[in-house]
Amino acid sequence: MHSGASDRNGKSTTVCLCPLPPKMAQSILDNMPGASTGTVVVTDPLNFWGGRRVKPREEKNAEPVFEPATGRVLCQMMPCGAEEVDEAIKSAHTAYLKWSKMAGMERARVMLEAARIIRERREKIAKLEVINNGKSITEAVVDIDIAWQCIEYYAGLAGTLSGQHIQLPGGAFAYTRREPLGVCVGIGAWNYPFQIASWKSAPALACGNAMVFKPSPMTPVTAVILAEIYKEAGAPDGLFCVVQGGAETGTLLCHHPMVAKVSFTGSVPTGKKVMEMSSKGVKQVTLELGGKSPLIIFKDCELENAVKGALMANFLTQGQVCCNGTRVYVQREIMPQFLEEVVKRTKAIPVGDPLLDGTRMGALISKPQLEKVLGFVSQAKKEGGRVLCGGEPFVPSDPKLKGGYFMSPCVLDNCRDDMTCVKEEIFGPVMSVMPFDTEEEVIRRANNTTFGLASGVFTRDISRAHRVAENLEAGTCFINNYNISPVEVPFGGYKMSGFGRENGQVTIEYYSQLKTVVVEMGDVESLF
C-alpha cells in the first residue's frame, strides 16, 4: 500500500507497504504519527478474507471516499460483487468450523490479545478514523477505547457460556447447550466505524460465530484494521472478514444461504429492507436504527449539569449520533436561564481541524449530509423556529479546510412538536428546545414519536426520576447524564428504533441458539 504523509517540512512522503508484512495492521498505522489533515492517501485493498487483504476482482463502479475535513478524495471504494461476497462467506464458514469447536477460554485468549493490540495502537487507529470520519480526535480516542473494552468484556463472558441441567422423572434428564449460530453478517454505519465493527464482532466471536462485516461505503478504511488485528491476535483466517460495498453488496449478504444472522446499524428505511431480505431465509436480525430522543429537564435540576447534558446529547460527532437527545424539553420556569447558558456554551464550541487536540467539533460526513442538515435549519425558520446561534456553513481559517463539510452548532427556540425539526431525525448539530409545564404533559409529548432509542431526564427528585424513566418508551433512559455508553449495559431500541441489543450480557442471547438434549435412562413407554 502507498500511504502518503507529509513530513514536518511539508514534503510529501510516500511509503510503499507491499507486500504486506506479518504485522499487517501496522502498515498504514505506522504512518499515522506523522500524518496531518489533508496528507493521507489510502491505496491498499480494503477487503479482507482468508487472512489477508483482497484486491477487488474488477475495478468498476468505484465510489470516491472523501476526507470530510478537506473535501479531498481519500481513496476509492470498490464494491464487492456476488463472487467476492460468496468467497468471503465461505472463508468465514471455514473459520467458524474451527473456532466454534474451541473452548470459551481459548476464544477469550485470542480476544484479549486483540483488545491489547487495539489499546496499544489506540492513538494511531483514532487518527485514521478521524481522517475518514471527520470527528474530533478527542472523541475518536474514546471510541477506540470503547472498542477494545467491548472486546475485553466479551472475552470475559466467552468462558462462562453454559446450559442448564434439568432432572426428569424416573432418572431421565435433559440439558441445554448454548451453541453458536454460524456465519453472522454485520452491517456498519459511518458515525462510529471502528467501534460498531467491534460492538458487533465481539459478542459474535465470544459465542463461537464468525463474522462478515460490511462497513458504510463512506467510511471503509478502519474495519480492515480490526480484521488484521484479530488475525494478528491468533484468530483463524476468515474469522472476521470485511467486504466493501453499498446497497447491492448488502443485499447479497442478506440473501446468502450460508448466513445465519444479520446485525444492522443505520436508518429505519434501510433497516426495514434488511429485515425483509433476511426474512426470505428466516435469518435472525438485530436492528439498531434511528432516533429522535427526548431530553426532559425539570426546574429542580442541577442546571449546570443539565446544560452539559444537553450539549453532550446533541453535539457529539457533529450531532451525527442515533441516540442523541435532540428534542430538549425544558420546564417553563427555567427556560430563560437554560437557553442563555446553552447558547453561550454552544457558541464557544471550537469547530475546525479534527486532528487538533483543541477542536471539539469536526466536519460532517459528506457534502450532501451538510446540505441536508442546513436544509432542516432553513425549514425550521420557515415553520416559525428561531435560530439562537449557529446553523450556518462554517469556513475555518486554515486554507486546507476550505473545502471541508463544517457547520456551526445550532440551537433552535420557538419550536413546536409538529415542526419538521422536532419530528424528523436531522443527524447533525441541531438542538430543538421546547417548554413544558407538567410531568404528565411532557411524558405524553416525549412518547409521541415512532422512534424509541433513548431518552433522558434531569431532576433532583429521586421518585420523579424513576417514575419518568419507567414511563418513557425508549430502550435507554439516562438520569442526570446523557450519551454515556458503558459496554456492560445493553443498548437498543423500542418501537421503530429497532430490536435486539448490543453490549451487556443479554447480547449473548442474540448471537447464540439453545439446543435441548433429552436423555432417557429407562425403557421407552410407547402408545403403539
As annotated, the active-site residues are: 288
Q: Which of 71, 77, 8, 6 is nearest to 42 (CA)?
A: 77
- Who contacts 142 (Cβ-Cβ below 8 Å, separation ≥6)? none
- The DSSP secondary-structure symbol of 334 reads G
What's the CA gap between 342 and 340, in Å, rounded? 6
What's the CA gap between 30 and 36, in Å, rounded? 13
- Who contacts 328 (Cβ-Cβ below 8 Å, separation ≥6)? 294, 295, 297, 310, 313, 314, 431, 432, 433, 434
What's the CA gap between 400 and 352, in Å, rounded? 11
Please say whether the beta carbons of 45 and 232 come within 8 A.
no
Q: Are strands 430-436 and 410-413 parallel, antiparallel or unpaired?
A: parallel
- The DSSP secondary-structure symbol of 33 reads T
Q: Which three cell numbers stand for residue 431?
A: 438542538
Locus of grid cell 462510529: 192
Amino acid at 512: S
Q: Are strands 410-413 and 173-180 parallel, antiparallel or unpaired?
A: unpaired
Q: Are strands 386-389 and 410-413 parallel, antiparallel or unpaired?
A: antiparallel
